[in-house]
Each structure stands twice: as structure tokens, then as C-alpha cells.
Chain A
């Protein structure tokens, strides 16, 4: 199909270049700007405008009609984004500490009868969200480790070591990208139920989630293409100095790949946190289930306010991770587009 053109090396070269500025363009532009004389700053600003311009020109921006139009549009956009993007989460945060009766009678009122902080502690320790919370962390960490190990070793072998049969294997990996995951659902379930060589079912063990997570063709492609663009001279120099394949992998290639490892890590952890159908099928025991699987079953079993508190707790960690690693998240999302495109 169109893979050969789609996965052009240029795309990754660009993205690898973008990624290597780990601070992100935003911080680089505003955070560390040294004090400058005003004349040079103005010149710089004009330069930046010339190279960094978008649809509107500097001339457009100076015209009052357009300037106010743009300001108004952006203000409306900001309000909409706050209402739509943040609104539901703020509501959840509010309702997590509101008594059930208030949430049911007047869902949009702000604490008509006070705040009930005990919801959070009830959800955490009485309903034992803490168990599922730790399960989610384990699921995410294991899947992450599995994906990193498989993708880096495979990427290294296919990109740097390049055995003769490498192209065939890479073709087989690329092929799986075109198979929708639903095709795997039933046979994969039966494989977990009765895995080869092990002789015992993996149902209700974390391995049932960890092992299939490693089979991500997307990661292998991403990492191989990043490795492809690392300078070969460095490898040659290391080989001349007597570094074997393992040393080269551990001391040269991996340290040079931190940006792409960050991206793969973000993808892996988000995916593990979000996954629902697969853990629902293979983790039947509530004591080993992650939050996403447990929450829907809690709905009918516990009080509404405690339930909403549980929802809020489950959302907290991803949101905090996102706010802390915002640049990495957004660059990964953009990169996802570059790879798909």
C-alpha cells in the first residue's frame, strides 16, 4: 500500500530534530531570554515575525478591524475551550466533594450544603480504590518496560546491526500495522488462556496484559526510524575503539535516543492507563483489575458521591502527569500525526 511513501525518512529526520530540543520551543523562546537592548530586541522580534509568521501578516495585525476581530475570536475560543475542555473536569472535582443529595437535586449548584471531604477517603480506603490504583500503576509500568525492551532491541537489530533477513522481519512487523486490533481479540484471548510452552493459563496475571503490549509495531517503526537517523560515524568510531554490539547498544545508541524513548514511554503509559476491553477480558479478579475495569462495576454498588470521588481520583494522575510533562505530551501527539502522515 502506501507505506513506502508514507514512512519516508524525511518525516522522522524532521521530528527527530524537533525532539532533540528537549526543552520545547516555548520555553526556549520566552523562558531563558537574556536581557537585551531594546533596539536589538525589536530587530529580533521583527526577524522572528518574518520567519515565524502564520496566516496573518504583520500588516494584517496592525489593521484595527482585524486586530480586534482576532482578539475577540481568541477570547471566545478561550472561553469555549475552558467550558468544553476544563468544565466537565471541574464539575467532577466539585461533585467529588459534594454530598449525593446535592449532586442529584442541583447538579450545577456550587456546594449548597457544604463540602464533604470524606467521599475521597471513603473511595480510597473503604471501597479500596487504592488496590485498583496500584494495579493500574503495575499494569502501566510493566507494559512500558515490555514495550521499551522489545522496541529498542528490535530497532537496534534492524537499524544498526542489519542482518540479511532483517528486511523480511521488518516487513512482517509493518504488515501488522494494517491489521485492526479487533482481529486479534479472540485468538489472543485463547492464546492467553492456553499459552504455548508454559502449560498454565495467564488469565488473572499481569503478564496477560504486559506480554501482548510488547507486540506494538508502531513502537518498533518509530524507534527503528529514529535509529536510522543517528550518525553512523559514531558507531564506526565506537567499533574501532573495540565496542561490541552490546556495548554499542547500551553505551552509545540508548543514551543518544532519550527523546524518542520519552515519546514511546508517553504512548505506552497513556495506552496502558486507557486500556479497557483487553484487561476486562483477561483480568477477571477484582483484586488484580486496574481502575478502568473496576469503575464501571462500582457504579451500582456504592453511593453516588463516593463513586464520583473514585472517578475523580482515577483522573487525577493522568492529569497531573500531563500538566508536568505537557511539552512531551503535545510533541508526542504531534509526532503521532507526523508518523501517520
Chain B
């Protein structure tokens, strides 16, 4: 109802030179129903998306505690964040996670999808098995793997290693092994989704292209390399940048597996943001948290822009 009043006001205030502009004809012309249908989205997006985005920028320049009114402090929050001794640790760890996730998680789904695309019988079974880990709630997956990573000789993975004569590993309790362990779990949890996306793309490759390649005498590897891969180029480029954007915001794994330890070896940028805002004994440092999240968003935006600029000519077939 408030919406009607709000929109009627400006249209009523204009001179009634043209009768088409009167409120009644506005309603008859569908203006009111347009607004009624848009209203849920305008309210929800306004309050829970557009306004928080604006507020985030404002807050990064403010000192906010929930007691006294916020005060503007210029670039202080950004300076504080960058000078935090943990900042570069977190950036390095996040980069390390992203790199490992790329090395491990980028080729595996592609290889699996190419192999699975040639399955004729029970193809659905293959897809279902590959997708199963994606369906497991991420929290359950992490907690389950945390138990698998038990460092004692009777831990699940250490038992399996024992079968082939490998001594027990410390897994997430060791500063160098913790991050790779996290990446293995993250890859397990995410690979299925990427496999299904690639599988859909491979199915979409025009059969004539393979026919033509065969006429030219291409063998199987040449067909994969010169027909399938170029046809997947667009989707491969997109999944690459999406994976980087996703891994740059990794939170769940370090938070639940290690809480950032051992010796800060798994503190990621998002974990740092969380600590600033919600795990601070002095009360939430919302300014620092928003400043760091804006820095991260800015970095990702610049990265994607550069990425798309660099790959533009390459991604067009």
C-alpha cells in the first residue's frame, strides 16, 4: 500500500497537461500491477542486497561499534588491515590453497568427464557416483574427513597407508601437510559438479566435427586434443576463473578442520575477516572486516577483468 502512495505522489504532482499521465490511467495502463509484481524483489534486494553493498563501502571508512554512532576514519581500516602481521600470511595461504586446488581439482574433472562421455551402458550410474559427494552437506563432509585425517596409527587414512607400508602421516596436525589435506577434501567435495558441467558440454560437441577429423585421419588422442578440447575452450575458461574466485573465498575447510592452525598455516583471508568481525574479544571490528572484504572483492574484480581481457581473443572459436 505504501508503494502506491509513493508512486502516486510524483505522477500526481506533475501538471495534468496530458490526461494519460493521471493516476487512474497509470493504474489502468498496468503501472500499478507492474509495481506490485516488482515489489517483493525491490524490497528483498533493496534491504538484503543493494543496501548492504553500499553500506559495506561506507563502513570500510568508518569506525563502527554498536554502542556509539560510527565515525569516519578515512583509510585507517585499510591501513590497519594491510599492516596486520597475519595479512600476508592469510594472502599467501589463500593463494597456496587456490594453486593446489587448481593443480589437483582442474584436470581431474576434465579427464573424468572425457572418459565418462564414452560410456554407453549405465552412464547414469557413473554420473550419479561422481555427483554423490556434492550432495553430502559440506559440513558433514568436512567433519567426516576430519575423522579420516586422524593422525594416530589407527586413523582411517593411516590404516589404509599401513596396508601398503607407508608410515602414519600427521595430516592436518602438521603445518606443511595441513593445507594440501584441506585441498584434497575440497576437491573431493566439488569435483562432481564440474564433471557434470563438462559432461554436458562434451555431449554438445557436434558429431560432424569428429566425422570430419576422422576423414582427415585423426586418431583418438588427436580427436580429443583437436576437436573436444577446442570445443570446450569457452567452458574451460569460465570454470577456471570461477574456481579461482571460489577458492579465494575458502572458509569452511580451514574454519572447521584446523581453525587456522597449526601455526597459522591455514589462516585464509575469509577466516581473517570472520575473526575481525565475529571472534574479537574487544567486540566486532566491523570496519577492518569490511575493508578486508572489499580489498578481496576488488582484487577478484581486477583479476577477472584482466583474465577476460587476456582470454577474449582466445575464447572465441
Seen from chain A, the residues whose Cβ lies within 8 Å of a Cβ on chain B are 1-2, 26, 50-57, 59-60, 66, 70, 73-74, 77-78, 81-82, 84-86, 88-89, 91-92, 104-108, 146, 149-151, 153-154, 156-158, 161, 163, 169, 172-173, 176, 178-191, 193, 195-196, 211-212, 214-215, 217, 220, 244-246, 249, 270, 273-274, 276-277, 281, 291-293, 295-296, 299, 308, 311, 314-315, 318-319, 321-323, 326, 329-330, 333-338, 340-341
**Contacts A50-B207, A85-B129, A180-B249; A319 near B135 (Cβ below 8 A):** yes
Q: Report yes or no: A296 in contact with B37, Cβ–Cβ below 8 A.
A: no
Residue B234 is within 8 A (CB to CB) of chain A in the complex: yes
| Complex: chain B residue closest to A281, CB-CB | B278
**Contacts A182-B270, A330-B127; A154 near B220 (Cβ below 8 A):** no
Tell me which residues across on chain A come within 8 A of B53, comparing CB atoms.
Answer: 176, 179, 183-184, 187
Tell me which residues across on chain B come within 8 A of A53, comparing CB atoms.
Answer: 207, 210
Q: Report yes or no: A195 in contact with B47, Cβ–Cβ below 8 A.
A: yes
Interface SS majority for chain B: helix
Contact residue among B49, B136, B210 (Cβ-Cβ distance under 8 Å from A54): B210
Distance A329 CA – B251 CA, assembled complex (angstroms): 25
Tell me which residues across on chain B come within 8 A of A55, comparing CB atoms.
Answer: 114, 117-118, 210, 220, 223-224, 227-228
Distance A225 CA – B129 CA, assembled complex (angstroms): 31
Distance A81 CA – B109 CA, assembled complex (angstroms): 12
**Contacts A180-B296, A329-B131; A336 near B41 (Cβ below 8 A):** no
| Complex: chain B residue closest to A106, CB-CB | B154
B216 to chain A, nearest CB (A): 13
Q: Report yes or no: A246 in contact with B56, Cβ–Cβ below 8 A.
A: no
Tell me which residues across on chain A come within 8 A of B132, comparing CB atoms.
Answer: 85-86, 89, 319, 322
Distance A314 CA – B141 CA, assembled complex (angstroms): 11
Q: Report yes or no: B290 in contact with A86, Cβ–Cβ below 8 A.
A: no
Tell me which residues across on chain B come within 8 A of A311, comparing CB atoms.
Answer: 140, 143-144
Residue B297 is within 8 A (CB to CB) of chain A in the complex: yes
Contact residue among A89, A146, A244, A336 (Cβ-Cβ distance under 8 Å from B197): A336
Q: Which of B218-268 contact A (CB under 8 A)?
A: 220, 223-224, 227-228, 234-235, 238-239, 242, 245, 249, 251-252, 255-256
Q: Report yes or no: A296 in contact with B129, Cβ–Cβ below 8 A.
A: no
**Contacts A55-B117, A153-B37, A273-B137; A214 near B48 (Cβ below 8 A):** yes
B134 to chain A, nearest CB (A): 8
* A–B pairs, 21, beta carbons within 8 Å: A26-B124, A55-B220, A56-B118, A57-B210, A154-B40, A161-B33, A169-B42, A185-B293, A186-B284, A186-B290, A249-B37, A277-B251, A295-B139, A314-B137, A318-B136, A323-B128, A329-B135, A336-B193, A336-B197, A337-B235, A341-B201
| Complex: chain B residue closest to A2, CB-CB | B308
A171 to chain B, nearest CB (A): 12
Tell me which residues across on chain B come within 8 A of A82, comparing CB atoms.
Answer: 129
Q: Report yes or no: A182 in contact with B201, Cβ–Cβ below 8 A.
A: no
Distance A245 CA – B36 CA, assembled complex (angstroms): 10
Given A54-B205, A156-B37, A295-B139, 11 new contacts (CB under 8 A): A54-B210, A56-B118, A73-B115, A77-B119, A88-B145, A106-B154, A146-B44, A180-B300, A186-B273, A193-B66, A211-B48
Q: Report yes or no: B154 in contact with A105, Cβ–Cβ below 8 A.
A: yes
Q: Report yes or no: A163 in contact with B38, Cβ–Cβ below 8 A.
A: yes
Seen from chain B, the residues whose Cβ lies within 8 Å of a Cβ on chain A are 30-31, 33-35, 37-42, 44-45, 47-53, 55-56, 59, 64, 66, 112, 114-119, 123-140, 143-145, 147-148, 150, 154-156, 159-160, 188, 192-193, 196-203, 205, 207, 210-211, 214, 220, 223-224, 227-228, 234-235, 238-239, 242, 245, 249, 251-252, 255-256, 270, 273-274, 277-278, 284, 286, 289-290, 293-294, 296-297, 300-301, 304-305, 308
**Contacts A184-B53, A185-B293; A244 near B210 (Cβ below 8 A):** no
Distance A173 CA – B40 CA, assembled complex (angstroms): 13
